[in-house]
Amino acid sequence: MKKDLITFLAIALLVTGCSKKGNRPEANNEVTNQPKEEATAVINANTLQQTIQGFGGMSVPIWIGDLTSTQRTRAFSPTEGIGMSILRVMIVPNSNQFAAEKPTIDAAKSYGAKVIATAWNAPASMMNGLYLRQSSWADYAAHMRAYCSAVGGVYALCPWNEPNYLASDWMHGTATEIANFVAAHGDNCGAPIMAPEPFNMDQNFINTYLSNATAKAKTLFVSGHIYGRTPYNLGNIGKSVWMTEHYTNSSISGNDWPNAMNAAKEIHDCMNAGWAAYVWWYIRRFYGPIDENSNITKVGYVMAHFARHIRPGYTKISCTANPTTGVYTTAYRSGSRIVIVAVNTNSAVTNQPFSIAGVTVNNFNRYVTTSSQNQAASTIAVSNNSFNINLPASSITTLVSY
């Protein structure tokens, strides 16, 4: 009897000990490790915003050499490369150097990219120091027209680059002066005008330029750069807005992941400001989207999350811009296709709910880039136009419906 009692007590202790040691704490650990579900990102496909014109970069052969054939493919191919749909080039002062731009221009156009061109300086004979002589306006228009004829297929051009950046050694100009030039000669430059392309996306400069009704009528779209400026909505100015030059940091590699995430957030901000295009500075540079060894960098893969999947003509639609701390989302549509880009700047996985109205979605292709992945692909199913996904820590995710 004593032996039986001892045996019973031993078994009871063993069972009790297992119970205390096992299931409940492990279950708690599982719950603790699950990503916290955040506020829903609400998308309305019927609330249309700006038409997207594209994402791209700059090529300047006379300064850093031309892109190679491989680099052109990796820049502009939407299947083998970043999928850039805009090429920005320089209208050089020396007409003997016009032809140097043509190989990359032709390659970009073969992938369907738009070519935009900007002049840093007029020919020296037309300038007085760093200012264009008014007596040379007609000659300057003819110079740009000759450039467009030489390279072919320029979608739009700007006669001045950052004319308000007076610390530069390129051509200066006031908003009124540039507007007067465009009003007088904007029809004779060989391509539609984009302007005034100020440093700092200076709204006073832009508004002064647009206050010239004739210049405004001859301007296809407003262009500008965001150095020193957070993207913002310019208001109802009656023109599409393109951000035509910026880079985030020229001192570190394009493969630096925190810097690439800065680029992701910056592109999000530009789109959320109502702008139609985002153009990086040099396409090929160690700090840019393609390095000198022709490899796509992390910055390039981040750009591809937009450029590959959001093609010219897509429309940005209503989407909660910042559904939870550290998560930034935008959405786009083309017909019944929906594209969502989510940037997770948090240091932990974030479970993000989405709901979609205005179009039926059943499935998404998902593409994820992190510090260790590049456009890693998978699929997700959608039920009743709502779904949750885990956004990896410090990541960018693009969802494309099918």
The one-letter amino acid at 111: Y
Q: Select which of 38, 177, 197, 245 is catalytic.
A: 245
- Residue 351's DSSP bridge partners are 37, 390
Residue 356: burial class (beta carbons within 10 Å; 0-12, 13-18, 19+): buried
User: How far, in Å, are 56, 236, 359 from residue 209 at the CA level?
Assistant: 25, 15, 40
User: How far, in Å, are 195, 234, 334, 340, 365 from residue 401 at the CA level?
Assistant: 36, 31, 10, 9, 6
d(CA 388, CA 34): 13
Which residue pairs, CB below 8 angstroms and at least 24 apart, start in 291-297?
291/253, 291/254, 291/255, 294/68, 294/70, 294/71, 294/74, 296/74, 296/81, 296/82, 296/374, 297/253, 297/254, 297/255, 297/260
**Quick check: 42 and 322 in contact, CB under 8 A?**
no
- The reply to whether 38 belongs to the active site is no
d(CA 316, CA 330): 8
Distance of CA 285 to the CA centre of its chain: 17
The one-letter amino acid at 363: N
- Residue 214's DSSP bridge partners are none
| Both tokens assigned to 28 | 């708690």
Tell me if residue 324 falls in helix, strand or coil: strand
- The reply to whether 80 belongs to the active site is no
Closest CA relative to residue 87, chosen from 279, 310, 275: 279
The one-letter amino acid at 30: E
d(CA 251, CA 268): 23
Q: Select which of 162, 177, 197, 266 is catalytic.
A: 162
Closest CA relative to residue 331, chosen from 312, 348, 346, 310: 310
Active site residues: 162, 245
